Every structure is written in C-alpha cells, then in structure tokens.
Amino acid sequence: MPPEEAGARRQETYDMSRLRSSSLEIKEKGTEFLRDQLDAAQKELKVKDEECVRLSHVRNQLELELEELTASLFEEAHKMVREANVKQAAAEKQLKEAQGKIDVLQAEVSALKTLVLTSTPSSPNRQLHPQLLSPGSSRPRGHTRNKSASGALQLQTDPLPTDAATNREDRELDSVLFAEFLSWKEKPGLDRSSAFISRVFREDIGPCLSFTCSKLSQSVQRAVENNSLTIEPVAMLSLPTVKDIESGAPNGCRTPIETKCALSGMSRPCRHRIKLGDKENYYYISPSSRARITAVCNFFTYIRYIQQGLVRQEVQQMFWEVMRLRREMSVAKLGYFLTEES
C-alpha cells in the first residue's frame, strides 16, 4: 500500500474516532442535562404535591369548621326560637290573666256604675248586699232596710213589743227553691231556660215591672235586663213644659212638682226620671215606680255579682240574699216604699 493511501486511512480513522468521541460526549451531556431537568421537575412536582396536601388539609379543616359553625348556628337559632316561644307563651298567659282581671274589674265597675247612676246623692247604699258590709256592721232585723244608692225600697216595721223573742222573724229553707238555685249556681246566667231564673221572671220581675203603660213597661224590663237603664234625680233641672207634663216625658223638672208618671199614668210628685239605653227621651217616674224598678235592678246586680264571681259567701247565704231581694220586689209591687223624708 502506498504511504499516501495509508496516511489517508489513518486520518479517516482518526476523524471517525473524534466524531464518535464527540457524539458520545454530546450524548452524555444531553443525558446529564435531561437528568438535571428531570430532577428539577421531580423536585417541583414534590413541592406541588406537598402544597396540594397542605391545601387539602386546609380545605378539610375549613370544611370541618364550617360544618361545626353551621351546626352551632342552627343550634343557637333553635335555642333562640325555643326561648322566644317560651317567652311568647308566658306573655300570652300573662296577657290572658290580665285580661281576665280587667274583665272582672270592668264588670264590677259596670255594676257599681249602675248603682251610682240609680242613686240619689244623699242616700249612699251601705246595705245593698250584706257581703259588702264590714264585719263589725250590724244588720237590722225584720223588714227595715236603710236607703240604698239604687233607691231600693224599705219597709218600716212596727216597734217590737216588750217580749221581742215571740215576734222574732224566722225563716225556713224551701227545698224546691234551693234545688233550683243550686242547679242555676253551677252555671249562672240570665237564660230563662233555667228553672230558677224562669221562676223569678214569672213570679217577681214580670209582676213588679208590669205597669199601666204596657209598651213602656216592656221597654223598661228589656233595659233593666241589658243593664242599660239610667235613673237620675231631677231636683236641679228646669221646669217642664205643659206638653211634657201631659206626656210624662219632660226634659227636666224642679222637684217637687205634680207630674204624670210615665209608667203608671197617675199624677204624682216625680223626683226622678229614667232613660232607656242610648235613647234621648227621658220619662218621669213616681217614687213607687222608682222603688219597683230599683228593686228589680238590685236583684239583677246581685245576680251579676254571682255570675262574675265577685260574691264570697256560702251557697245558703247567697240563696237567702236572693230570697230577700225577691221579697223586696214583691213588697214594691204591693206599693210599699220609703220616701226621702222617711
């Protein structure tokens, strides 16, 4: 082989060797670079994984806290609702009790107003009902009764004889009347379906309020039953006209003056007048008519006291007070009454 050709081959072999060496070096450097990149990526991925784990933990913690907070809020809300319901129930109970007390007081005021409206200024009613008297008060025996605010009639008894024991008033309980009263007392009211109330209307109230002027008598009875009748004195009012005197319904009168009683139709000194409910008309009434009306008013007042639970007495005491008021209606019907001068 010529020397030139051998030299060329050696040069070619050398070049090939250098190329392989360079290729291997480049490959190693590329591999090293890729390995470095891979390591960096793995480190970054690890950091991100750790961040994901941390964020997941934070998320779980927040969800737990949110759940606890929600449960706490619901529990607090339910507690507030329960407390509000309890307070509302207590307030409604107090309101109901207060309303009941107000109703009782209003009923008592209404009853007392009736007594005041049917009174004369100089005649306080200190013995209208025995349960209203003080323990030290003594009640007269027999038929004597002080003048009442409602103008209840009084019967003047004759002086007792020397042997008072032989003339002492006594009483005996009627079993039929008492049984009717007990039956009514279980559910007190003014319903005439009750045997007790029906009997009183039939035997006492009806006859006592039965006057010559039947139409006005019926109106008076309805007003008394509805507690809307007003009786007032007319001593300081102006004189009536001739027409008013004839009709028995003047607008005023200066007592004493001879005026026709609107109920009986008889000319009598009429010191009082009545008004029925909200009507504007006034009617003159004689002392006898006034006594009959007020006797019935006294009965209704006491019955309403019982109905409203204002009477604190034994049943028998209530019964005898009712019998006494019935007796007053019967006596008033017969024409007995006390005048202002009595």
Predicted TM-score of the model (pTM): 0.50
pLDDT-derived band of residue 114, with 50, 70 and 90 as boundaries? low
Q: Is 30 left (phi over 0), alpha (psi -120 to 50) or beta?
A: alpha
Say how many CA atoms lie within 13 Å of 79 toward its Cβ.
6
235-291, pLDDT tens digit by residue?
Answer: 644 444 434 444 454 444 444 556 889 999 888 888 889 999 887 888 999 999 999
- Contact yes or no for 305/311 (Cβ under 8 A): yes
Q: For residues 83-93, give the mean pLDDT.
A: 90
Does residue 194 carry a pLDDT above 70? yes
pLDDT at residue number 224: 92
The reported pLDDT for the residue numbered 166 is 61
Question: 125 vs 201, which has greater pLDDT?
Answer: 201
The pLDDT, as a whole number, for residue 298 is: 93
Summarised one tens digit per residue, pLDDT across range 57-84 is 999 999 999 989 998 898 889 889 989 9
State residue 116's pLDDT score: 57
Whether pLDDT at 220 is above 90: yes
